[in-house]
């Protein structure tokens, strides 16, 4: 679908919403009442509670220039449930948070992965591979685990008082 068609489609979606029409649902959803139950695996991912929400909200800089002292600050390495540990470096520029880097994150081992018996016909599949092309933006599931927020908070605590900045490891190929 071209960008022009996409725009037309969006106009349709918007008007459908305005008029309370669920035409889209009728056109596209049929057949999805059936849900494939996955058997609970012994290696099921453990939920991580995002309970540090309020702590981070308080850390938000409200004005420019920000409250922090320029430099790179690395937070504590924090245990992230069954995943291992997580450590975050925050980059402060002009007193504000300019960037984050994730320094330490557990890799999932292939032996822990359950082999799926469910095939998806017609759609193309590929094994994921790390890319080296430079990028502007990363799309990923939201980073709000307790481990992430704790490590980030400790880095920001250091940035508030201007503790000696820690050199950040090279994290080429990623940005947040």
Partner 1 sequence: MKQTRLMMGMPITVEVVDASVTAEAFDRVFAYFGYIDAKFSTYKDTSEISRINRGEITLREASSDMQLIFALAELTRQETDGYFNIRHNGSIDPSGIVKGWAIQNAADLLLDLGYQNFYVDAGGDVQVMGRNAQGESWRLGIGNPFNLQQVVKTFGLSDCGIATSGTYIRGSHIYNPLDAGDPLDEIVSLSVIGPNVYEADRFATAAFAMGRDGIRFIEQLDGFEGYMIDRKGLATLTTGFARYVAVPAEVR
Q: Between residue 122 and residue 141, which ones bind partner 1 under the rule CB under 8 A?
A: 122-131, 133-141
Decide if 79 contacts 106 (C-beta within 8 A).
Answer: no
**100 three-state secondary structure:** strand
Give the number of residues in contact with partner 1, rule: CB under 8 A. Answer: 90
Site for partner 1 in 84-113 (CB under 8 A): 96-100, 102, 105, 107-108, 110, 113
Tokens of 145: 């685990």
Minimum separation from the CB atom of position 23 to partner 1 (A): 10
Q: Hunting for tokens 């984050």 — which residue is that?
A: 100
Q: Give the contact letters, 45-74, x = binds to partner 1 (CB under 8 A), - = no.
A: xxxxxx-xxx-xx-xxx--x----------
**152 three-state secondary structure:** helix
E strand or H helix at 88, and its extent?
strand 85-93
Binds partner 1 by CB under 8 A, chosen from 71, 72, 75, 145: 145
Tokens of 98: 């300019």
Binds partner 1 by CB under 8 A, chosen from 40, 111, 161, 167: 40
CA distance 164 to 151: 17
Binds partner 1 by CB under 8 A, chosen from 74, 89, 149, 154: 149
Residue 71: phi and psi, rounded to 5, are 145, 175
Number of other residues whose CB lies within 10 A of the CB of residue 151: 27
Minimum separation from the CB atom of position 52 to partner 1 (A): 7
Work out whether 79 is an interface residue with partner 1 (CB under 8 A): no
Nearer to partner 1, 35 or 164 (CB): 35
Contact segment (CB under 8 A) with partner 1 among 71-79, 116-124, 157-165 equals: 116-124
């Amino acid at each position: 679908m071209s960008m022009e068609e996409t725009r037309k489609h969006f106009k349709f979606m918007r008007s459908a919403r305005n008029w309370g029409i669920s035409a889209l649902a009728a056109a596209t959803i049929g057949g999805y009442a059936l849900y494939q139950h996955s058997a609970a695996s012994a290696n099921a991912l453990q939920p991580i509670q995002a309970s540090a929400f309020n702590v981070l909200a308080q850390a938000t800089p409200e004005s420019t220039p920000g409250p922090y002292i320029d430099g790179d600050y690395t937070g504590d390495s924090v245990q992230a449930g069954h995943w291992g540990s997580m450590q975050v470096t925050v980059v402060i520029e002009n007193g504000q948070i300019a960037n984050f880097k994730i320094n330490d994150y557990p890799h999932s081992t292939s032996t822990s992965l359950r082999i799926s018996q469910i095939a998806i016909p017609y759609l193309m599949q590929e094994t994921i591979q790390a890319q080296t092309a430079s990028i502007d933006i990363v799309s990923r599931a939201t980073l709000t685990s307790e481990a992430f927020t704790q490590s980030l908070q400790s880095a920001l605590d250091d940035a508030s008082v201007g503790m000696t900045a820690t050199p950040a490891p090279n994290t080429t190929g990623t940005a947040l």
